[in-house]
Structure 1
Amino acid sequence: MQIVHAPHLPVKEDWLALRQEPILDPDLPIVDAHHHLWDRQSGRYLFHEFRDDTASGHRIVSTVYVQCRSMLRADGPREMQAVGEVEFANGIAAMGASGAYGETRWCEGIVGGADLTLGDAVDPVIEQMLERSGGRLRGMRNPLAWHADAAVQSTIVTPPPDLMQQTGFRRGVQRLAKYGLSLDVWLYHTQLDALYELAKATPDVTVVIDHFGGPIGVGPYAGDGAAVLSAWQSSLRRLATLSNTRLKLGGAGMPVFGHPFAAATTPPSSEALARAWRPYFETCLSLFGASRCMFQSNFPVDKGMFSYHVLWNAFKRLAAQASASERAALFSSTAIDTYRLGATFGQGNGK
Structure 2
Amino acid sequence: MQVIDPHVHFWDLAQGNQPWLEHPSPNLLGDYSPMARDYGPRDLLADAADIELLGAVHVEADAVDPLAETRWLAGLVEESAAPVLPTALVVGADLSRSDAGELLAAQCQASDRVRGVRQILNVHADPLYDYVGRHYMGESVWRDNFALLARHGLSFDLQLYPSQMPQAVRLAEEHPEIPLVINHAGMYVDRHGVTGWREWRDGLRRLAAHDHVSLKLSGFGMLDHRWTEGSIRPLILEALDAFGVERCMFASNFPVDGLYARYPAIWRAYAEIVADASPHEKHALFVGNAQRTYRL
TM-score tier by shorter-chain length is 0.7 to 0.9
Q: 2:93 aligned with 1:109, yes or no?
A: no
Contact 1:174 1:202 in 2 (8 A): yes
Q: Per-residue displacement from partner, 1:100-134 (whole Å, max 9, x unpaired)? A: xx4x2311110111221236x4232122211211x
Return the match for 1:68 from 61, 80, 83: 61
Displacement of 1:336 after TM fit?
0.9
Q: Which amino acid aligns with 2:156?
A: L
RMSD: 1.7
Question: So what's the TM-score if we normalise by structure 1?
Answer: 0.75
Alignment of 1:267-346 (within 5 A): 273-341=228-296
How many percent identity over aligned positions?
Answer: 31
Alignment of 1:184-333 (within 5 A): 184-216=157-189, 221-224=190-193, 226-254=194-222, 257=223, 259-261=224-226, 273-333=228-288
Counterpart for residue 57 of structure 1: 50
Counterpart for residue 16 of structure 2: none
Contact 2:246 2:284 in 1 (8 A): yes
Between the two proteins, the alignment pairs up a number of residues equal to: 275
For residues 181 and 192 of structure 1, the distance between their equivalents in structure 2, rounded to whole angstroms, comes to 21
Displacement of 1:90 after TM fit?
1.6
Structure 1, gaps ≥5 residues long:
1-25, 73-80, 262-271, 342-351
Q: 2:75 aligned with 1:91, yes or no?
A: yes
DSSP-derived class of the 1:106 partner? coil
Q: Per-residue displacement from partner, 1:140-185 (whole Å, max 9, x unpaired)? A: 11120010122324x4xx241x210211111111100111100001
For residues 196 and 288 of structure 2, the distance between their equivalents in structure 1, rounded to whole angstroms, comes to 30
For residues 152 and 42 of structure 2, the distance between their equivalents in structure 1, rounded to whole angstroms, comes to 32
Q: Which amino acid aligns with 2:77?
A: A
For residues 294 and 147 of structure 2, the distance between their equivalents in structure 1, rounded to whole angstroms, comes to 18
Counterpart for residue 152 of structure 2: 179
Displacement of 1:323 after TM fit?
1.2
The structure number with the bigger radius of gyration is: 1
DSSP-derived class of the 1:116 partner? coil
For residues 233 and 326 of structure 1, the distance between their equivalents in structure 2, rounded to whole angstroms, comes to 22
Structure 1 pair 66–84 and aligned structure 2 pair: CA distance change class (3 A): same
Q: 2:97 aligned with 1:122, yes or no?
A: no
Q: 2:94 aligned with 1:132, yes or no?
A: no
Contact 2:219 2:253 in 1 (8 A): yes
Displacement of 1:222 after TM fit?
4.9
Displacement of 1:202 after TM fit?
1.1
Q: Per-residue displacement from partner, 1:314-341 (whole Å, max 9, x unpaired)? A: 1111121111111111101111111101
For residues 214 and 70 of structure 2, the distance between their equivalents in structure 1, rounded to whole angstroms, comes to 23
Q: Which amino acid aligns with 1:66?
A: V
For residues 230 and 309 of structure 1, the distance between their equivalents in structure 2, rounded to whole angstroms, comes to 31
Q: 2:25 aligned with 1:31, yes or no?
A: no
Counterpart for residue 138 of structure 2: 165
Runs (4 or more) in structure 1 with deviation over 6 Å come to none
Structure 2, gaps ≥5 residues long:
14-20, 23-32
Contact 1:164 1:194 in 2 (8 A): yes
Structure 1 pair 199–237 and aligned structure 2 pair: CA distance change class (3 A): same
Displacement of 1:48 after TM fit?
2.8
For residues 112 and 332 of structure 1, the distance between their equivalents in structure 2, rounded to whole angstroms, comes to 21
Question: So what's the TM-score if we normalise by structure 2?
Answer: 0.88
For residues 208 and 185 of structure 1, the distance between their equivalents in structure 2, rounded to whole angstroms, comes to 6
Contact 2:41 2:86 in 1 (8 A): no
For residues 327 and 57 of structure 1, the distance between their equivalents in structure 2, rounded to whole angstroms, comes to 18
